Chain A
Amino acid sequence: MSDTPVIPEEPIQKARHPFVEAWEMFRRNHAAVVALAVLVLIILGAIFGPILYATDPFEMVWAPFSPPGVDGYLLGTDYLGRDMMAMVLNGARVSLLIGLAAAVVSVVIGVTVGALAGFYRGLVEEVLMRITEFFQVLPTLLFSMVIVALFGASLPMITFAIGVVSWTAVARITRSEFLRIRELEYVTASRASGVKNLRLMFKVILPNALPPIIVQSALMVGSAILFEAGLSFLGLTDPNIVSWGQIIGSNRQYILDASFTVTIPGLAIFVTVLAISLVGDGLNDALNPKLRQR
């Protein structure tokens, strides 16, 4: 329509630190702020919980299937009479740690692949994008199950198995950002002034490609936590550690006797992932330059 009203711009504000500006935008998303608070609580619980609540999660402390709140066990006991509270707190460490580490692995792979493809174009791009598509065809969970089954269920292997199957989204986003930014004038200018390719890629282009990559990375942490939960639910995890998925997996035969042994750790996963995705939404508001112009 030719007559779309031109909404007058707000008076120009003084330039502020980008972080301050991003926080301003983030703060407007109330759900994200609440989620951030919840997430901080969960992280604090994971770090200090097992120290303050020093019950051994593997020790049989009471009769099995004692319901939450009864007999002094806040979250009850599981099928082996272990303290659920201790298990959930210790499980938080593993879930968050693997989630974070696996996200880092996938972001590193994804950014590298995407950056190379978007920067060099041509044959390099063709080959890398075919590899990306190949990884999209493999059913992710099944592939990481295979890796863990063949090469052992140690924490580093689990982290690697999750990271190596979940980088494709990051690679695609990075590539499209690189394709866009590499054509901008300041990149041409840097190139003309003889800046080396590697520097051009990581010092000139990458910083400007970061916002969508950061948002995607935040979401990656959430999906990596879900992923780890899935693997450990199936029992593909280090038997010497507790994780949320594993609590559900090992208790699931007893849902008739004590459904809370399954619902509580599931709730923990749900709330954590939900909080992360809401924070991701907020980050999107804060970092997306298109929205900021409103």
Chain B
Amino acid sequence: MTEPLLKVENLRIELKLRDGVAPVIDDLSFELMPGESLSFVGESGCGKSMTALAIMGLLPEGIGRIASGKLIFDGEDLTTASEARLRQIRGNEISMIFQEPMTSLNPVITVGEQIAEVLRTHQGLSRKAAWDQAAELLDAVRIPNPRSRVSDYPFQMSGGQRQRVMIAIALACKPKILIADEPTTALDVTVQAQIFDLLRDLRAQTGTSIIMITHDMGAVAEMAERMIVMYAGRKAEIGPVDQIIDHARHPYTQGLISCVPHIMSDLTETREELTEVPGIVPSLREFGRDQCLFASRCKYRSGECLQHRPPAKGFGNGQISDCWHAEAL
């Protein structure tokens, strides 16, 4: 077996609150293989984006910090890497695209320059060469008339086009990992499908590993090989996508899947918003308690769920569930 490209070990991220701190990510471990596509799934506020920002070294300054754990990328621990080293990696070996294409591009700089500057920074390209390649990248993300559109400003483009530009920026230096944080949430359904197609094709061409963060089970089924279900800052379940959809071993995952009834029969045609599992995610103050945090919303709740945090239980097929009742499900 090959070495994992990214190895996250016992990651704990703390967020500063008005009174004290809350672990938004609590003891998270997972591995990402070269060329693999992994999805993070969960409701808003479960810590998915924080994980992504932590890998990028972009946790909000003074508010969030990595309290413990390791982020080993290509044999190098990113949690102890210098800021200068992280800058070399960012946008070059690990890149990220964000949820809001409307606000993620700089409004007063041409899209060409926003692509070209990454190439100049990381690959030392000349002004002219970087500009030419920016046009080629626009072509690669299927923006018509790339030669003339490089000198457009973001306000002259639609939301879908802007997200394509973001993808062009992210893939400009052929990164080893692309992190996509809800890349299509803000877009129309038809545009969503196009962006997924594009990401899939580009991945096939470049062999980039993808970490996709989403709350859309349909997108997971379509894009990823493995998935991690997150709940309240903790891993609920991890495993190959087909197996989990086939037989989820965590009540929360089951809830997520049952909200999208068509998912097993028809994987590609339609994608619907995930309707909520009844109840709400616990408040940040409750994160980190020694109990199952899903217990308040769980129909299988028993005494031990409220007394201790459930241990990880493996099922030999790569599926692991953090639930006291995993075997029974």
Q: Which of B39-47, B236-244, B263-271 contacts A (4 or more CB under 8 A)?
A: B39-47
Give per-residue flags for A1-31: 1 if the beta carbon is below 8 A from chain B beta carbons, else 0.
Answer: 1111111100000000000000000000000
Whether A8 contacts B50 by the Cβ 8 Å rule is no
Shortest B72–chain A CB gap in Å is: 23
Residues of B within 8 A of A1 (CB): 49, 99
B24 on the interface (CB 8 Å rule)?
Answer: yes
- Closest chain B CB from A102 CB (angstroms): 41
Residues in A whose Cβ lies below 8 Å from that of B182: 2
Q: How many residues of B contact A (CB 8 A)?
A: 20
**Could you count the A-B residue pairs with CB atoms below 8 Å apart for me: how many are there?**
35
A2 and B181: CB pair below 8 A?
A: yes
Across-interface contacts of A5 in B (CB, < 8 A): 15, 17, 22, 24, 45, 284
A2 touches B18 (CB 8 A): no
Q: Which residues of B contact A4 (CB under 8 A)?
A: 45
Do B49 and A3 touch (CB < 8 A)? yes
Quote the shortest CB–CB distance from B311 to chain A (angstroms). 26
**Does B7 lie at the interface of the complex (its beta carbon under 8 Å from any beta carbon of A)?**
no
For B17, the chain A residues whose CB sits under 8 A away are: 5, 7
20 A-B pairs with CB atoms under 8 Å apart are A2-B48, A2-B99, A2-B181, A2-B215, A3-B24, A3-B44, A3-B45, A3-B47, A3-B48, A4-B45, A5-B15, A5-B22, A5-B24, A5-B45, A6-B283, A6-B284, A7-B284, A8-B283, A8-B284, A8-B285
Interface residues of A (CB under 8 A from B): 1-8
Contacts of B49 in A (CB 8 A): 1-3
- Name which residue of chain B comes closest to A3, CB basis: B49
Hey, which chain A residues are within 8 Å of B48, CB to CB? 2-3
Could you tell me which B residues sit within 8 Å of A by CB distance? Answer: 15, 17-18, 22, 24, 44-50, 99, 181-182, 185, 215, 283-285
Rounded to whole angstroms, the CA-CA distance of A4 and B24 in the bound complex is 10
Chain B residue at minimal CB-CB distance from A4: B45
Least Cβ–Cβ distance between A79 and chain B, in angstroms: 56
CB contacts (< 8 Å) of A7 on chain B: these are 17-18, 284
Closest 9 CB pairs of A and B: A3-B49, A5-B284, A2-B44, A8-B283, A1-B49, A2-B49, A3-B45, A3-B50, A2-B182
CA–CA, A4 and B45, complex, Å: 6
Docked complex Cα distance between A6 and B232 (Å): 12
Given contacts A3-B44, A7-B17, 18 further A-B contacts (CB under 8 A): A1-B49, A1-B99, A2-B44, A2-B48, A2-B99, A2-B182, A2-B215, A3-B24, A3-B48, A3-B49, A4-B45, A5-B17, A5-B45, A5-B284, A6-B283, A7-B18, A7-B284, A8-B283
- Nearest CB of A to B46, in Å: 7
Q: A8 — which chain B residues lie within 8 A by C-beta?
A: 283-285
Distance of A281 Cα from B182 Cα, bound (Å): 40
Give the complex CA separation of A5 and B20 in angstroms: 14
Smallest CB–CB gap between A207 and chain B, Å?
Answer: 33
Residues of A within 8 A of B215 (CB): 2
What's the nearest-Cβ distance from chain A to residue B63, in Å?
A: 9
Using Cβ atoms and an 8 Å threshold, which residues of chain B touch A6?
A: 45, 283-284
Residues of A within 8 A of B15 (CB): 5
Closest to A6 in B: B45
Q: How far is the CB of B195 from chain A (nearest CB, A)?
A: 17
| Distance, CA A8 to CA B45, complexed state (A) | 13
